[in-house]
Amino acid sequence: MIAGIDHFVLTVRSVEATSAFYQRVLGLKRLDEPNRPTALLFGSQKINLHEVGRTFEPKARTPTTGSGDFCLVAARPLADICGSLEANGVAIEVGPVERTGARGPMMSVYFRDPDGNLVEVSEYRK
């Protein structure tokens, strides 16, 4: 019944800081539209950003910064992602390590965004 994920929402302290981080470190594209949340586009998905105190309805019952924990699939080799993290001063907390994703074995690295959300970026084995 479900084919995939369209988007998810992160509640953030600063849309500007979070957008800049994801654009710089992971190459996501920012989209601003009137009366819509700022979106970070990648592949055929997006992350909507709700700033604390300026959220959109409907929303989670208790939106909280730093409570996100999600996995993104890399479009480039994981080594390129690690290089971008290092070049931008982002500490890798775990990895690269072997994991099992929805499609099978993968290698992953874990790091934190400006709000403390745990971000996993993975590369599926071929």
In terms of pLDDT, which residue wins out, 111 or 3? Answer: 111
CATH of 7-124, one of 3.40.640.10, 3.30.460.20, 3.10.180.10, 3.40.30.10: 3.10.180.10
Residues annotated catalytic, as ranges: 120
User: What is the value of pTM for the model shown?
Assistant: 0.92
* Predicted confidence (pLDDT) at residue 126 exceeds the cutoff of 80: no
**Cβ pair 88, 23 in contact under 8 A:** no
Per-residue pLDDT tens for 43-100?
A: 999 999 999 988 777 888 888 999 999 999 999 999 999 999 999 999 999 989 999 9
Using a pLDDT cut of 70, give the percent of the chain over it: 100
